[in-house]
């Protein structure tokens, strides 16, 4: 097996291999002729629509009856006006026309009509009219041909205006400007892709033991994790041509055009092999053909052509297909079988170290002040993907410019993180005193339950300043360390924290407000997952009653059980929520004085930190009981 590129002739070729003509003259000429014929037909139809078509016998009958008022003789037809039509106003007159019989004597007919007193008009024919007509048609045809030829050149010149030509962008060597140094937090994915690049460059050390070059690799992950960026990094690292195209570029309204583009893409790749082909969002063309709602002929033909092209080239050609998707469950099974896209590379959400490395990559060109601690930002952004972190850094830089600073500080990064979560502060929203007190008690209810409970994440900030996301306030919790598993006790603590705001409203004011809508929604979803997926229900035990679909998109679970079981699930979820709500009310009732004290402090400052909250909590824990008062219950703080 030899992937020798000779004396690098490929570098001097055009991206399409250099063998395509500059323009498709035949296509341009065909389009021009069609347009001219169509124009002539339309012109003739418009002209004929001005007259009423009759037979030659009708014309002779009108002539014998003396009903002709005016006749105009042409080489191929007779246009005449009857006396009834001539009597009408000129705007309402409508002439008739009929064809001439073959072998007819036009001169004799005209003389006979003249003898009958009928006005016979001859069409005005100038000496050079025929020449002018021919010249005008020639100029029109030449002009149209030049325009069509230019358009077909610009559109690719193939397959009737370029519809069947591949729209792939070709990157040579490091023209993308992205390398593996620009991708962080995806070490496993980079390792798999690096092996493919190394195989293209040094095939001998793999073939020496009989290893074959994998034909295809599928990048799978959530949106924003860096699948396309990884593919561009491959283009930057590989010293081979790189074809980049989106799956939607194969889809056309004309049946067969997508398959034609697939053929053209692989023909281009074969000319410059070894090379890499990258198909982004392959689910647009590789969707499963087992569709109960009917088939799509164009999509199926395109997919079949793609499968046959992947099977058609040998590993010795050095063509590798990369594809990216966030919906692997809908891809056709034939596309994923061994020998095609047989290597699946998971591009997952980065962990703590991955987020830290990603922040370092995105802040390389950002001026940072000395107080910036990227590790704290990485801890606060658990679950964030690369695109989120890039947006966070950019928002921080924009904020620094707005504040008139020359460098980004830690506050800029933290405020940008909060902006991504809750939006920017609303300066003009004015709450009434009652609404402000409700929001304060609501948020302190969340924070106090979290501070007094075991297994909870520390509170880092409480604010009652409205934000553009619709939140009138929020409580932010920041994990001390990254965790990948949650226990049942931790989830129940999270439930009590979520309903703590509603519990505080009920205890202090005896009312219920709409401010708890998002809390209740999140608590219900968490309780339902505990019952249907996590096996944390006393009633259903280890049985799962829901199936997760589109795990890399919304991750929504759909019930996979009978209606009776679903009703039982609803009752179990309701019981878990009621238990969490009762526990939250009990905690806040026992600490009512502390709830009032912290809420009043929040009303004055509008924003307090987690340290200020814990100062109140620790002071209350160390307070000596009054005479006759029971000592405070022993508890473990979350800080």
The verdict on 399 and 444 lying in the same domain is no
Is the pLDDT at 18 greater than 50? The verdict is no
Determine the Cα–Cα distance for residues 559 and 552; give it in Å rounded to an integer.
18
Tokens of 394: 């950019």
Considering the chain, what percentage of its residues have pLDDT values greater than 90? 24
Please indicate, yes or no, if residue 91 is contained in any of the structural domains. yes
- The total number of residues shown for the chain amounts to 639
Q: Angle at which helices 352-362 and 386-402 pack, to 10 degrees?
A: 50
Paired sense of beta strands 216-220 and 319-325, if any: parallel
Task: Give the CATH number, domain containing residue 383.
Answer: 1.10.8.60
State the Cα–Cα distance between residues 222 and 347, nearest whole angstrom.
Answer: 8
Question: Which positions are catalytic?
Answer: 443
| Per-residue pLDDT at 19 | 42
Residue 292: burial class (beta carbons within 10 Å; 0-12, 13-18, 19+): exposed
Supply the pTM of this predicted model: 0.65
Torsion of CA 82, 88, 92, 93, to 10 degrees: 20
Pick the more confident residue, 600 or 154: 600
| Residue 638 domain-assigned (yes or no) | no
pLDDT tens digits for range 27-52: 667 777 777 777 777 776 666 667 77
CA nearest neighbour of 350 among 401, 398, 317, 384 = 384
**Domain termination site, one of 323, 346, 369:** 346
Report CA 563 to chain centroid distance, whole Å.
35
- The one-character DSSP state at 484 is S
Same domain, 377 and 340: no
Higher pLDDT, 219 or 132: 219
What's the rounded mean pLDDT across residues 437-454?
93
397 and 505 fall within a common domain: no
Same domain, 460 and 600: yes
3 state SS of 465: coil
**83 has pLDDT over 90:** no
Could you say which of 391, 422, 453 is where a domain stops? 422
CB 510 within 8 A of CB 502: no
- Secondary structure of 426-481 in HEC code, one letter for each residue: CCCCCCCHHHHHHHHHHHHHHHHHHHHCCCCCCEEEEECCCECCCCCCEEEECCCC
Same domain, 407 and 445: no
Rounded CA-CA distance 276/319 in Å is 6
User: What's the gap between Cα 330 and its chain centre?
Assistant: 16
pLDDT of residue 368: 92
Confidence of residue 165 (pLDDT cuts 50, 70, 90): low
Give the contacts of 534 (CB within 8 A, at least 6 positions apart).
488, 491
75 pLDDT higher than 70: no
Q: What is the pLDDT of residue 152?
A: 60
Burial label, 17 (beta-carbon count in 10 A; 0-12, 13-18, 19+): middle
600 with 537, same domain: the answer is yes
Same domain, 89 and 215: no
Q: In what order do the strands lie in the sheet with 119-121?
A: 52-53, 96-99, 77-82, 68-73, 119-121
Is residue 583 assigned to a domain?
yes
pLDDT range class, residue 446, cuts 50, 70, 90: very high
Scanning 240-341, the segments in alpha helix (DSSP H) are 257-271, 297-312, 333-336
Q: What is the pLDDT of residue 259?
A: 81
Examine residue 226 and state whether it is found in any structural domain, yes or no.
Answer: yes
Whether the per-residue pLDDT at 90 is higher than 90: the answer is no
Total domain count, the chain: 4
538 in a structural domain? yes
> What CATH number did the domain enclosing 467 receive?
1.20.58.760
Question: Which residue range is the domain that position 495 belongs to?
Answer: 433-622
Q: What is the mean pLDDT of residues 418-427?
A: 68
Same-domain check for residues 367 and 467: no
412-425 average pLDDT score: 77
Q: Give the pLDDT confidence score for residue 204 in this predicted structure.
A: 78
Together in a domain, 195 and 304: yes
What is the reported pLDDT for 14? 42
Q: Which residue has the higher pLDDT, 3 or 531?
A: 531
My answer on whether 174 and 311 are in the same domain is yes
User: Would residue 635 count as lying in a domain?
Assistant: no
Taking residues 173-181, report their average pLDDT: 69
Identify the burial level of 490 via C-beta atoms within 10 angstroms of its C-beta, where 0-12 means exposed, 13-18 middle and 19 or more buried: middle
The enclosing H or E element of 81 equals strand 77-82
Tell me, yes or no, whether 295 and 318 share the same domain.
yes
Q: Write the CATH number for 240.
A: 3.40.50.300
Do 320 and 365 lie in one domain? The reply is no
Structural domain includes residue 14? no
Sort residue 160 into left (φ over 0), alpha (ψ -120 to 50) or beta: left
Domain termination residue (choose one: 121, 140, 159) = 121
Indicate which CATH number applies to the domain containing 70: 3.30.720.210
Sign of torsion, CA 427 429 433 438? negative
Q: Which two tokens stand for residue 320?
A: 């590798």
Residue 149 belongs to some domain of the structure? no
């Amino acid at each position: 097996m030899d992937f020798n590129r000779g004396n690098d002739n490929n570098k001097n070729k055009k991206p399409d291999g250099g063998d395509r003509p500059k323009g498709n003259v035949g296509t341009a000429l065909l389009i021009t002729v069609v347009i001219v014929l169509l124009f002539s037909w339309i012109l003739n139809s418009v002209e004929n629509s001005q007259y009423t078509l009759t037979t030659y016998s009708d014309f002779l009958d009108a002539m014998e009856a003396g009903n002709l008022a005016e006749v105009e003789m042409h080489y191929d037809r007779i246009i005449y006006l009857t006396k009834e039509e001539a009597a009408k106003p000129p705007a309402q007159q409508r002439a008739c026309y009929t064809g001439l019989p073959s072998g007819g004597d036009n001169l004799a007919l005209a003389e006979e009509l003249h003898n009958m007193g009928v006005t016979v008009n001859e069409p005005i024919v100038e000496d050079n009219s025929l020449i002018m007509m021919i010249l005008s048609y020639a100029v029109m045809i030449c002009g149209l041909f030049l325009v069509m030829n230019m358009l077909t050149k610009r559109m690719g010149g193939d397959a009737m205006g370029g519809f069947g030509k591949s729209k792939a962008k070709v990157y040579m060597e490091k023209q993308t400007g992205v390398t593996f140094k620009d991708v962080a937090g995806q070490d496993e994915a980079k390792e798999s892709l690096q092996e493919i690049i190394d195989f293209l460059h040094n095939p001998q050390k793999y073939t020496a033991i009989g290893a074959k070059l994998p034909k295809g690799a599928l990048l799978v992950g959530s949106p924003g994790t860096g699948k396309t960026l990884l593919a561009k990094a491959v283009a930057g690292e590989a010293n081979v041509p790189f074809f980049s195209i989106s799956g939607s570029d194969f889809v056309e309204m004309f049946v067969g055009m997508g398959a034609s583009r697939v053929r053209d893409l692989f023909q281009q790749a074969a000319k410059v092999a070894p090379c890499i082909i990258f198909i982004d969002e392959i689910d647009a063309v590789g969707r499963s053909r087992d569709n109960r709602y009917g088939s799509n002929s164009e999509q199926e033909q395109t997919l079949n052509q793609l499968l046959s092209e992947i099977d058609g080239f040998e590993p010795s050609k050095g063509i590798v297909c990369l594809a990216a998707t966030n919906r692997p469950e809908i891809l056709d099974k034939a596309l994923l079988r061994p020998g095609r896209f047989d290597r699946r590379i998971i591009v997952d959400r980065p962990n703590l170290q991955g987020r830290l490395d990603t922040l370092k990559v995105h802040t390389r060109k950002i001026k940072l002040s000395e107080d910036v601690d990227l590790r704290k930002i990485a801890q606060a952004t658990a679950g964030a993907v690369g695109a989120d972190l890039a947006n966070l850094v950019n928002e921080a830089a924009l904020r620094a410019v707005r504040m008139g600073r020359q460098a980004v500080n830690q506050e800029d990064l933290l405020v940008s993180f909060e902006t991504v979560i809750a939006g920017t502060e609303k300066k003009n929203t004015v709450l009434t005193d009652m609404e402000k007190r409700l929001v304060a008690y609501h948020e302190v209810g969340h924070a106090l339950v979290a501070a007094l409970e075991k297994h909870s994440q520390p509170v880092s900030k409480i604010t009652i300043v409205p934000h553009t996301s619709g939140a009138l306030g929020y409580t932010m919790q920041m994990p001390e360390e990254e965790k990948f598993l949650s226990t049942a006790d931790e989830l129940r603590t999270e439930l009590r924290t979520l309903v703590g705001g509603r519990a505080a409203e009920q205890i202090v004011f005896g009312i219920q407000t709409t401010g708890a809508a998002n809390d209740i929604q999140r608590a219900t979803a968490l309780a339902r997952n505990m019952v249907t997926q996590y096996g944390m229900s006393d009633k259903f035990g280890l049985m799962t009653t829901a199936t997760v679909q589109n795990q890399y998109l919304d991750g929504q679970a759909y019930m996979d059980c009978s209606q009776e079981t679903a009703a039982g699930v609803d009752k179990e979820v309701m019981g878990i929520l009621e238990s969490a709500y009762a526990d939250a009310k009990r905690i806040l009732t026992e600490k009512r004085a502390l709830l009032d004290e912290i809420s009043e402090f929040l009303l004055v400052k509008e924003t307090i930190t987690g340290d200020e909250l814990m100062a109140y909590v620790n002071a209350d824990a160390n307070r000596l009981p009054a005479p006759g008062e029971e000592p405070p219950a022993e508890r473990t703080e979350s800080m």
